[in-house]
Each structure stands twice: as structure tokens, then as C-alpha cells.
Amino acid sequence: MLRRIGRAGRRFEITWRYSFNLAPTLAYRYAKRPLPAESARVLADLDRNGVAITSVQQLMGSDSCYQELMEAVAKAEQDQAAVIAAARADVRASGPAGVKSFIYSLLGEYPTLQPQGIYARFALHSAILNIANGYLGMYSRLRYYNVWHTFPSGMQPRQSQLWHRDREDRYICKVFAYLSDVDDGAGPFTYAAGTHAKGRVRSQPRHFKEADGVQRSDDAQMAEVLSPEQWIRCTGAKGTIIFADTRGYHKGGEARERDRIMYTCMFTSPASESREFFRRPAQTPRQPNLELAFALAPPKAGPWVSFKF
């Protein structure tokens, strides 16, 4: 009974924030600083629409570590060329429920968390972390990072290629950085503007359940709730960065003509019941500030265990 009451409390802003996430909220408010102009614009778009588009150059400047990320991914693609080719050959396979055969996760299902490695450092870059924290209104926690290589399949849309919403937290901040040019033929991330918790759209589309039990909607069902003119198709050149609250309706990966290669990471509140999608090493280095300490703290632990005074 108490557990059910506790979970119900997470649905409401005031209890989610001040009962479950009091420490990260107050710590963030105490240390909050004004954002640079581009970061402030991105955060405003994210608050209003649930999605915002920028670029490595605009947001992060010369200190982006994006080139290092590109080089690491290129090496991983080369090292795994045979496995990627086999995955491409199986792209039309249905596979077990929940398995997306059209996406190959370059870092594996559960990569090992390496705070000093490029994949974690890109997620924890101050320009990205500042927006994640600003959107949640607290010091957030990193739950996931990976690199997705999406293959054209020529099949009817399925799984995450259909409209859906994520459930990890009241607010979720996901980041997508394009490592290849993404046009309409490469399955761009697409978002139904205003369907997030901060947005104005409260109606939900008709839906059906796939084999994995997730509720999905097709384009016709979504159009009954929000006209296609209000769908934001996040096409962009290599170096495009997208921030999205995936509690709002979204879809992506319906590549028809060419591959899409994309880095992604996810931030939630520290109190989220979401599982982590990486393995933790035996020891995580102590962090030099609260922002990183909260971001890297183990689940159900405060930041103080990884903060060096």
C-alpha cells in the first residue's frame, strides 16, 4: 500500500520534486547560474515544445570533444564491421519482443560506465548537462549512453518507428547527436510538439499494443490529436544536437534510403525508478563538483559518496 501511494506521488510535480528530489532541487537552485545565449534558447524551446534543435558548434563551440567522439565511433565501426554487416543482413527479422533489429547498439546493450571515456564525457559536457539540469530544475542523473547505427529496412513502421512515449520519470531529458547527415530518408527523430508534461496538449492518441506490451500509435492516429504541421522533424547535418523530453510523443529510426548513426544519452531525476543502461565499475572516481557527483551517483545513493570536498 505505501509503495503504491509513493508511486502515485511521483505523478504530481510538488511531491515528485519536494518529496522525492528535494536535495538535488535545492542544491541546484542554490548554485544556479545564468546560461549562455544559445543554451538559454535551447532550454526555452525545450520547455515550450518538448524538443529543441541546435548544433555542436552553436552550443559547445571549439571545446566540444565532438571530433574525439567521431573518431572513437569510426574506430568502433571499423572494429565491428563484420558484426555490423551481419546485423544489417538481419534487419528484416522480427526477433524477440522489444528487440529493434533495425538498430545496432555500437557499445552493446549495457556498456561499462567510464567517466573519463569519451562517451561519458560528451554526455557530461557542461553545455549538455546545464540544459538537462535546467530542464529538470535540479541536478540530474545520467542513466544511459550509447551509439545507434540504424539500417534502412523497407518494412512497415514498427516499435520505436511508431509514435510512443517513455515512462522513466515525470520529466526526461534525452540528447541525440547526429554523427551522420540525417534527412527524411534516414529516419529523423520526430516529435509531437507540446505533448510533454510542460506542454499544452493533453489529449492522447488512439493506440494499439505491440508484442512488447508498449502502446504505439500510427501517423493517422497521432494526426487526430495533433496536426502533422505541428510535428517537428529533426533533420540535420552531422553535428546536429537534439534535446527532447521523451515523455512526450515521439518516433524515429524509420530509415528508408540511408543509414543513420547517432549518439544518445538520457538524464532523469536522481529519484527516478528507471534502471540504468550501463554496468558500473567496482569503483567510480570521486567527482570535483556537485553537478558531476549527482550525475554519476549510483542509484539510491546521494551524491556525497562521490563528491570530493
Q: Where are the domains of the chain?
A: 35-306
Contacts for 28 with CB less than 8 Å, ≥ 6 apart: 133, 137, 138, 139
Q: Helix 37-49 to helix 126-136 angle, to the nearest 10 degrees?
A: 40
What pLDDT sits at residue 6?
A: 55
Q: What is the pLDDT of residue 190?
A: 98
C-alpha span between 298 and 136 (Å, rounded) = 19
Query: What pLDDT does 94 receive?
Result: 58
pLDDT tens, position by position, 213-267: 889 999 999 999 999 999 999 999 999 999 999 999 999 999 999 999 999 999 9
Mean pLDDT value across residues 34-50: 98
Q: Looking at the predicted structure, is the pLDDT value of residue 307 above 60?
A: no
89-93, 95-99, 153-157: segment of lowest average pLDDT: 95-99
- Which superfamily is assigned to 35-306 in CATH? q2cbj1_9rhob like domain (2.60.120.620)
Nearest by Cα to 6 from 282, 273, 255, 279: 273
All three cell numbers of 248, joined, read 512526450
Look at residue 96 in the predicted model and tell me its pLDDT: 53
Contact (Cβ atoms closer than 8 angstroms) between residue 135 and residue 47? yes
**What are the pLDDT digits (tens) for 120-151?**
999 999 999 999 999 999 999 999 999 999 99
Q: Are 245 and 171 in contact (CB under 8 A)?
A: yes
Res 10: pLDDT = 79
Confidence class for position 300, pLDDT limits 50, 70, 90: low
For residue 102, pLDDT over 50 is answered with: yes
What average pLDDT does range 160-184 have in this prediction? 96
* pLDDT class of 113 with cuts at 50, 70, 90: very high
